[in-house]
Every structure is written in structure tokens, then in C-alpha cells.
Structure 1
């Protein structure tokens, strides 16, 4: 759990009242308030501050929100720029669109400068040029950002294929648009980079997916010729027990579960997994467990595990 500011004030100078720690601030803001950069960094290391971007911080006790993210962006985004791509997805609330190399909270900045001929070149911002229609841009607390729909289309065509399907799933999950609306946008991107990939992946996108690894596993199984797996399938018993499966093929009672490190490491987590999977087996389900290392590289190990589980499930279903 993150520490709060009072816990560390015995070790570090107390932040001046003038420092806007309850809203995002830059290292320069801290210096102007008399707090040197090294103190800000140490407070972040101790958990008193949360880094939102390189050089932009906020009190760790401040809850995540669209307004908070927009406030942080306004500190580093030029007024004539439009926030796009990964940063736009993050701002809209689809935090799982962050690149795998990101730490889960600190995205790289992606903006498009609307001033002709102006491109940003610094360590904070990755900028570029693109054609945006008026309907592609909206104002979010005085910040220009591509709409969730345009952001999904851009990420779906410009990212690597497996990242793209995970992004499309995550953006659909926001509920700002449905897959039919997404499909309706495909024609306008004709001839643009990555449109073939976008056309292929949009029909496969599913708002029910809850994590990028689940999306990647689903796509790899489809690529291998396996039946389409349903995300977040719910199994209920007559006694009122309910279990939600990461991926499932209900007709043969096959469950494919992804065990990442975040929720499957503690002893209590492992015991919970063992109990629910034992119950599933007792009512005729075949459970396949896929771990992070199984998805690495080409993911062949993960697909083989699902294929073997499918064969067992079919045999079990027939008997």
C-alpha cells in the first residue's frame, strides 16, 4: 500500500502549503515553492507522491480521475496540440492501453501539433502529423484530445497486432462506442497505414475482455485455428455459487485461465484459485492455466496448453 505524506515528513522536509500537492505539479513548481528536485524524487520513492509523467507529480492520496489526468497533461502539452494515441486512451480511462514497457501508471506523451510545421522534439513528447476531422477531437477540461472512437482506430492500426487487439478490447470496454460503430469507421481509413490490420481485428474485438494477456491469448488461439473463446464467462450453481472465467468454450466446458503475478501470488490467492478450480472440475469443467511465461515469444506454449485442454474437454464431454 502507498504511504501517505504525513508518514514521511519525519524523514523529509514538509511540503510548503503553497505547493499544490493535491493536484499535479512539476519539478519546477516544487522548486519555486522551495522544494528541491531531489526531495520530490525521494518523496516519490517513499510513496508520498505519485509520478504521473516524467517530471509531473501528485500526492499519492489523490484518487485517479479523468480530471486529474487532464490536469497533469495540461502542464506539459502545448495549448495548440491534440493529445492522441496511447496518451489519449489513458486520459479517457483505458489505462490498459499503456505500452507493455510502461510501469502501468506513467505513459509516454503522444501529441499532434496543429500548428503547421511545428513538431515537438524532447524527452517527454512523441509527436507527429495526421489528418484529423473536427469530429475526431473533443475538449476534455480545456484539453484537446482525440475522441475515444478515433483513438481506438488509431491504436488499432498503428500498434503491433497483439497490442492492437488488447487496445481495441480495452477501448470498447469504456462504453463510449460499440463494435458496430467501430466497424462503421473502417472505410474512412482506406489507404492509410495499418488499415488492413484494423479491418481484421475490429470484428474480433470484445468489450468483455478484462486484461491484455486475455486478449492476446484469445487472438493466438484464433490464429492457431482453435474455436473462439468467450471472455468472462460466468458459471453458476444451483446453490448460488458464481465463478467468472477469463476465457471459456462453454459448449464443451473448457476454461482457460490466465494467472498473472498481480492477483495469483499470495497464498490466499493460490488457495482461492485451487478451491474454485476444484469446484469447476467437480461439475465437469476442464481448466487450463496459462501463465506469463507461457505467453512469451510466439506464445506457442500457451496455445498448446489450450489445445490439449480442448482435447480433454471434448473427450470428457463425450463420455
Structure 2
């Protein structure tokens, strides 16, 4: 019980520690009556669980980014506050966003009550800035849920909007669902794709490359087939050796691979877009010239 977030009153009542120990440096108070072991890293997931311990006695559940994280659809930007939904008003707490409303659309995930995957997408899709709203909808629409299809169609959010006319910020869902594409395999991949789409590009998503005999060679994050160009996002877990071997196989098909990382998407977005634009323009022109030369 004392290895993760816990309610101090519960621990005292169970005789697991004394009030003096609870107030010692061994534990850190994160919310009223909710504590963490001092040596436990307060990750977003840990803070979300602490928030749940805080609101559970009040009938509250995890919502927003915290619910998305519980589903395995982590898409919160760095430093995001944890989120809860409760049927009654909650006093403001540092690092916690508390929404008030009915908690009937919930499921249990790992023993924690959270808003359903669809309800979470409905909430985040209406409340976040456009790019992050698309990131959240992509992540939630992509992640599998036991007993549910591997993906839900983001356009079904518009069905709900028709049923709940006048719901706050629901009109913006038109743009969100048009830009959403659950085939993107990570939030950062969605962010990279959106940067290019909002700059006027229309890349193919999760594009399969095949050889002259129709055999599968690779699947790339984004592709510009007319330019024989692949664009890949390299996350923290990518393997340089495997990437090089893969790029060789893709290069043998006459395709060029561009790779970008988080720093490019967050801090060098304009440079990334310019680099892709240059490659698309130059490679398309070269391919057209080659075709004309063959005809001549």
C-alpha cells in the first residue's frame, strides 16, 4: 500500500504507520491526505494515480490526459497537469485540473475508474489547441481496448455532436476529425505529420513499399510516392543499426529516406518543413525529367 500513492488517513487507520512517520521525510504530501514515498519519481502516471486517490471518495474519476494515459494512449505534453472529473466542485489544487460533471461514462482500468476512451476523445478534442486535439484523438482512436475494435473512427465524434447540439467547443471537431489519422503510431509521429499537413503537404501514412515482384520491403511513417520519398520519425527507442539496414533496403528501391527526431518537431519545425519541401520539389522534378528522357 505504501509503495505508491496512498491516502494518509487509510494508512493511519490500518496501523501501517504513525502520524509522525507520515509527516517525516519518508513521504511527500501531493494532494490533501494523499502521499507518495519520497523516493518515488512523480511521473505523470504516478501523479494521476495520486489524483485518483484524492477524488475517489468524492465519486471522482480520472479524465482528459490522465484517462488517456491509463488507456496506454499517453499523449500529454511535458509538464501537463493531471485531470479528474467529479460530480461536485473540488477546491483548486496545484498540478490538478478538476472538471465538474456527471461521471456515468466510465470504465475500470487497472482498478482505477476513468472516462471511457470515446468520452476522453470527446473531451480532449474539444478542449485542446487544434494540433494537440488531433494528437489526443489519434492516440485514443488507435489504442486497443478489451472488447472493442482496435480503432474507433474519429468521425463518430461528429455523431455525438449531432446528439448534443450546443456542446461547448464542439464545432471545432469538424477540423479535428478531418486532420485525425489513427494510423499514426505515436503522438510525436502525429505531430510531425500535422506540421507537414498544415504546411500544405498531403503525405501517405504508414505507406508500404514493395519490390518489383510485389514483395513487402518496408512500411514507412510518411511517404510522398510521386517523389519516391519516405519520412520517418525516430523516437527514443529507435535502433540506429536497424535503421541503417532498413534504409539500405529502401534505397535499393530508388527511395530516399529523411529522418527526424523530437527536437526537429518541437524546436526546428520550420527547418524540417523546408527540408521536406526541398526534397519533394527536387526529387519530383528529377523523376519527371527521367520520364521525359525515356520517352524521347
Shorter-chain TM-score above 0.5: yes
* Matching residue of 2:248: 278
> Relative to structure 1, is the Cα distance of residues 295 and 189 closer, same or farther in structure 2, using a 3 angstrom cutoff?
farther
The answer to whether the 8 A contact 1:156-1:164 is kept is yes
* Matching residue of 1:231: 205
CA-CA distance at 1:240 after TM superposition: 6.0
Gaps of 5+ in 1: 1-18, 57-68, 103-107
> Relative to structure 1, is the Cα distance of residues 137 and 27 closer, same or farther in structure 2, using a 3 angstrom cutoff?
closer
> Relative to structure 1, is the Cα distance of residues 92 and 124 closer, same or farther in structure 2, using a 3 angstrom cutoff?
same
SS in 2 for 1:234: strand
TM-score by length of 1: 0.69
> Relative to structure 1, is the Cα distance of residues 297 and 312 closer, same or farther in structure 2, using a 3 angstrom cutoff?
same
Distance 2:252 2:168 in 1: 50
Distance 1:301 1:51 in 2: 31
* Matching residue of 1:63: none
Gaps of 5+ in 2: 28-36, 144-149, 291-296
CA-CA distance at 1:78 after TM superposition: 2.8
Equivalenced residue count is: 264
Aligned counterparts, 1:26-175, within 5 A = 26=6, 28=8, 29=11, 32-33=16-17, 37-38=25-26, 40-42=37-39, 44=40, 52-54=45-47, 74-79=52-57, 80-95=59-74, 97-101=75-79, 108-115=81-88, 118-123=89-94, 125-130=96-101, 132=102, 134=104, 136-138=105-107, 144-174=113-143, 175=150
> Relative to structure 1, is the Cα distance of residues 51 and 141 closer, same or farther in structure 2, using a 3 angstrom cutoff?
closer
Distance 2:103 2:16 in 1: 40
Q: Residue by residue, what CA displacement relative to the aligned partner does 1:198-246 show, whole Å, maximum 9, x if unpaired?
A: 21011221111112222122222222222x2222223244596632211
Residue 295 in structure 1 maps to residue 295 in structure 2: no
Deviating 4+ runs (over 6 angstroms): none
The answer to whether the 8 A contact 1:285-1:313 is kept is no
* Matching residue of 2:237: 263
CA-CA distance at 1:53 after TM superposition: 2.4
* Matching residue of 1:4: none
The answer to whether the 8 A contact 2:68-2:140 is kept is yes
> Relative to structure 1, is the Cα distance of residues 316 and 189 closer, same or farther in structure 2, using a 3 angstrom cutoff?
farther
Distance 1:32 1:293 in 2: 46
The answer to whether the 8 A contact 1:85-1:110 is kept is yes
The answer to whether the 8 A contact 2:55-2:84 is kept is yes
Residue 204 in structure 1 maps to residue 179 in structure 2: yes
SS in 2 for 1:243: strand
